[in-house]
Amino acid sequence: MSNSLDKEIFAVLKNAVDKGESVALCIIVEKEGSGPRGPGTKMLVFQNGRTVGTIGGGPFERMVVKEAIEALKEGKPRTVKFAFRENNVPLGAYRTGLICGGVLTVFIDVIKPKPRVLVLGVGHVGKPLAYLAALLGYRVWVVDDNPKHASSEKFPNVEKIVVNDWEKAIEEVHITNEDYVLIVHGEIKHDYVALKKALKANAKYIGLLGSRNKVKTYLKMLSEEGYDLSGLKGKLYAPVGLDIGAHTPEEIAVSILAELLKIERGGSGKHLTIV
């Protein structure tokens, strides 16, 4: 029974992550005295409160669901104790109102899918960029307006390929505030359209490939259209990439992904050497 339920839980968990949805995995990790369920009991909790499996039901489970939703909002795991007695309640433990007599410790893990990386334009830099991003485990979507440039033969390891008229293609991917957007098409008007759409969608990270002159021109255009340029710091990285002396398209792709990783993981970008 337990094995069967665990299989269902892990199947649902995999499906959620594959679809880009975060989910909390709640596991009883310690049991002191009597309680409704034992260590190893699992339950999934989604942001909307939907659950799969059970760790005991009643007010106890409702408390766990509330904690799991908070953990999902915060994006960090947590460990919580629940007391099933009125006396000798451990410090910080929730009182469940139940009188089984024991204390259960529940670990709530937040399972987050790898971010979606949108590679807008697959020219000389876009091709190695998409390949390497997928190699790093990102959910890569390739977007272009030329079917000769974007095909499953050229990009066998990406999650999705979208080809359409440029504006329609970008609309089709539905940029969200959780996406990492890399604008590397190269055509001036195309890149500017993509930049505005990424800004409107409030994408988490926007990297724009191009010269400093190109960036300054875009910033001037944005300002003239009423954009508050002060709000771009920490969101728009233009020109995109870390300064590693990159020259070839492949080297530039490495510099861009190094920056993306730095932003995603909160790294410093400093050398690690102790010599």
Give me the CATH number covering residue 128: 3.40.50.720
Shared domain check, 235 and 148: yes
**Same domain for 137 and 14:** no
Q: Of 111, 127, 151, which residue is a domain's last? A: 111
Same domain for 65 and 79? Answer: yes
Which among 47, 80, 111 is the end of a domain?
Answer: 111
Classify residue 27: in a domain, yes or no.
yes
Residue 43 belongs to a domain: yes
What is the pLDDT, as a whole number, of residue 89? Answer: 72
* pLDDT reported for residue 24: 96
Q: Is residue 165 part of a domain?
A: yes
Q: Does one domain contain both 134 and 256? A: yes
Amino acid at 259: E
Neighbours of 2 (CB within 10 A): 11
**Residue 84 domain-assigned (yes or no):** yes
Select from 111, 127, 155 the last residue of a domain.
111
**Residue listed under structure tokens 């670990």:** 107
Tokens of 44: 């999934």
Residues 210 and 148 reside in one and the same domain:
yes
- Per-residue burial over 115-152, b if 16 or more Cβ lie within 10 Å, else e, is bbbbbbbbbebbbbbbbbbbeeebbbbbbbbeeebbee
Count of domains forming the chain: 2
Q: Are 159 and 245 in the same domain?
A: yes
Q: Are residues 198 and 141 in the same domain?
A: yes
Kindly state whether residues 82 and 204 are assigned to the same domain.
no
Specify if 273 maps to a domain: no
Pairing, β 23-32 against β 236-237:
unpaired
88 exposure class (CB count in 10 Å sphere: 0-12, 13-18, 19+):
exposed
The CA distance from 275 to 266, in Å, is 24
pLDDT at position 1: 44
Would residue 122 count as lying in a domain?
A: yes
pLDDT averaged per 10 residues, the chain (length 275): 78 88 94 86 94 89 93 93 79 75 90 92 94 94 92 91 96 94 95 96 96 96 92 93 96 97 92 91
Residues 125 and 98 in one domain: no
Is 138 found in the same domain as 79?
no
Burial class (CB in 10 A: 0-12, 13-18, 19+), 229: exposed
Same domain, 33 and 50: yes
249 and 121 within one domain: yes
- CA dist 95 and 89 (Å) reads 8
Note whether residue 274 is domain-resident.
no
Would residue 270 count as lying in a domain? no
Domain containing 190: what range?
Answer: 116-265
